[in-house]
Structures are given as C-alpha cells and as structure tokens.
Amino acid sequence: MELIVVISILSLVFYFSSSMITDGFKNTRFESEQATMVETARKSMDVITKDIRGANTSEKGDYPIVTAQDDELTFFNDINGDDKMEKIKYYLTGPNLIREIYLPGDLKDYAIVDYSNTIAAHINNGDLSIFSYYDSNSEETDVINQVRMIKIHLVINITPATAPNDYILESNVNLRNLKDF
C-alpha cells in the first residue's frame, strides 16, 4: 500500500513538472518568434519610410503618388540609385505586407514586376488602415495631389488569440519632393 502511495505521488510530481517544463519551452519559443517578427517589422518600417520619403515623379513625369488607399500605396522613387524612377507598390494580402518594384521599361510603362517580397508578416490591423494620408495642414485627405505626409500603422501579432498583446509600430513620413511653397 505504501508503495502505491509513493508511486502515485511521484507520478503526480512528474506530471506537473513535465507540464511546467513543456509550457516553459512553448512560451520561450513563442516569445522568440514574436521578437523576431517585431524586429523584422521594425526593419521593414525603416525601408518603407525611406522609400516613401523619396517619392518623386515618374520617368514620364507622372505625379509621384499613383495609388493612395487604406491598405495599398503606389508611388515612384529611384531606390537603386540608377537615376531612373522605379514604381513601388506596398499592399496587404492576408497578414502579409508585400513590396513590389516595377522598372520603367523601354516604354516607361512600369508593366512588369521586377521584384516582389513579403516585407512584413503577421500584420493584424483589423479595421485599422495601414496608410493614412495628410495634407500640408496635417488634416486627413483622400485627394492624391494634396498628400504631403503619410502615416504608417502596423499592428504585429503572431497569435492574436493569446498573449502577449499586439505590438504597434507607427511612423509619419513627410514627402520631401512634395513640399508646398
């Protein structure tokens, strides 16, 4: 009888100990994944702000901003330093923020995607816009040729149903080449 009691107690201790160790490993892995995603999003935010800051007219002389929507932004910028404007498009598809780059081409029509990648993953903005647009008076606008500042808002969370809470990244970008005089 004493042996059965000892075995039962040791079994309970082993069960609870292994459960705590397993949960600890899961939490550590989750926190590591979350930290990696946050760092990737921070680096992505740096790239996005640098790209937007240098928005300029296209090779044909088109206005610097092509599309200005809640979850999509398209504009021109010479990102590779070859003195030719590329068209850059950021858009949300599912939980991923995609960056596409179009070269001007012989006809300067920007018809072919040269490069496409997921710049940020696990975006969990819900109903909140990724991009907001402001005029020179810092008032929100939906008129493309009045946009002078763009606010970027990213909510990152690998598993929205569990802790930790969302990680929020925000940045305001003034368009250098679209200043009012």
Can you tell me the distance from the alpha carbon of 29 to that of 49, in angstroms, rounded to the nearest whole number?
30
Q: Is residue 74 part of a domain?
A: yes
State how far Cα 21 lies from the chain centre.
Answer: 34
Model's pTM, two decimal places? Answer: 0.80
Residues 6+ apart with CB under 8 A from 53: 173, 174, 175, 176
Q: What is the pLDDT of residues 5-18, one digit of tens each?
A: 888 888 888 888 88
Q: Is residue 59 part of a domain?
A: yes
Q: Residue-wise pLDDT tens for the chain (181 aa)?
A: 888 888 888 888 888 888 788 877 777 777 777 777 778 888 999 999 999 999 999 999 899 999 999 999 999 999 988 999 999 999 999 999 999 999 998 889 998 899 999 998 888 888 899 999 999 999 999 999 999 999 999 998 877 666 667 888 999 999 888 766 4
Tally of structural domains, the chain: 1
Q: What is the pLDDT of residues 113-125, one digit of tens each?
A: 999 999 988 888 8
Q: Is residue 179 part of a domain?
A: no
Residue whose C-alpha is closest to residue 60's, from 101, 113, 90, 104: 104
Q: Is residue 57 part of a domain?
A: yes
Q: Is residue 165 part of a domain?
A: yes
Residues in the chain: 181
Phi then psi dihedrals of residue 54, to 5 deg: -95, 15
The range of the structural domain enclosing residue 101 comes to 2-174
Q: Is residue 163 part of a domain?
A: yes
For the sheet with 65-69, list strands across it.
65-69, 72-77, 86-93, 96-102, 113-120
The residue whose two tokens read 């079994």 is 11
Q: Is residue 180 part of a domain?
A: no
Q: Is residue 85 part of a domain?
A: yes
Q: What does DSSP assign to residue 113?
A: E
Cβ-contact 120, 44 below 8 angstroms: yes
